Amino acid sequence: MNTEVEKIEENIRYADDVADVAACFGLMRQLRPHLDDVEEFISRWRRQQADGYRLMALWEGDRPIALAGFRLQDNLVHGVHFYVDDLVTDASARSGGYGARLMDRLKNEARALDCTKLVLDTPLTNVLGHRFYYRNGLLASALRFNIVLD
């Protein structure tokens, strides 16, 4: 008999086809409200795939309840590392352990790809997210600065 954790692990899988990606749109929009519609999301997903971007979700039936977008990156700061672009748990399911399970899976995927670091960015205003990251072993190590160019 499977434990609850094993059942959750069995429900974590990649969203590699258009139907699965489309099913992830509503959840991704909770994180990225600027996305106008599912067609834009799919188009951007396809472009980012060229850089190795992948989506992984924890599914409850045909509904994703936690979602991560990630890719391998290589730079002079971190070397080859596992970069998490997007990480979100459905607002109705937060504090249920789903994000932690997905984060554990992401760490395992990173190790399997011989990465020694998992890196992500989050806004300074995301205080609840910061608490989640600290609880999951991530430490703040930098500030990222940017400017909007006209």
pLDDT tens figures, 90-140: 999 999 999 999 999 999 999 999 999 999 999 999 988 999 999 999 999
Residue type, 32: R
CA distance 105 to 109: 6
pTM of the model: 0.88
Provide the pLDDT confidence category of residue 4 given band limits of 50, 70 and 90. low
Assess whether pLDDT exceeds 60 at residue 1: no
Choose among 136, 77, 79: nearest CA to 106. 136
What's the total number of domains in the chain? 1
Tell whether 140 is covered by a domain. no
Q: How far is CA 80 from CA 5, 88, 135, in A?
A: 30, 24, 24
Tell whether 150 is covered by a domain. no
pLDDT digits (tens, 9 = 90+) for 7-50: 556 799 999 999 999 999 999 999 999 999 999 999 999 999 99
Q: How far is CA 24 from CA 14, 17, 20, 55, 103, in A?
A: 11, 11, 6, 9, 17
CB neighbour class for 60 (10 Å; exposed up to 12, middle 13-18, buried from 19): middle
Task: Report pLDDT for 6.
Answer: 56
Please, what is the average pLDDT of the chain?
Answer: 93
Tell whether 83 is covered by a domain. yes
Tell whether 149 is covered by a domain. no
Task: Report pLDDT for 103.
Answer: 97
CATH number at residue 86: 3.40.630.30
Host domain of residue 92: 4-135
Tell whether 88 is covered by a domain. yes
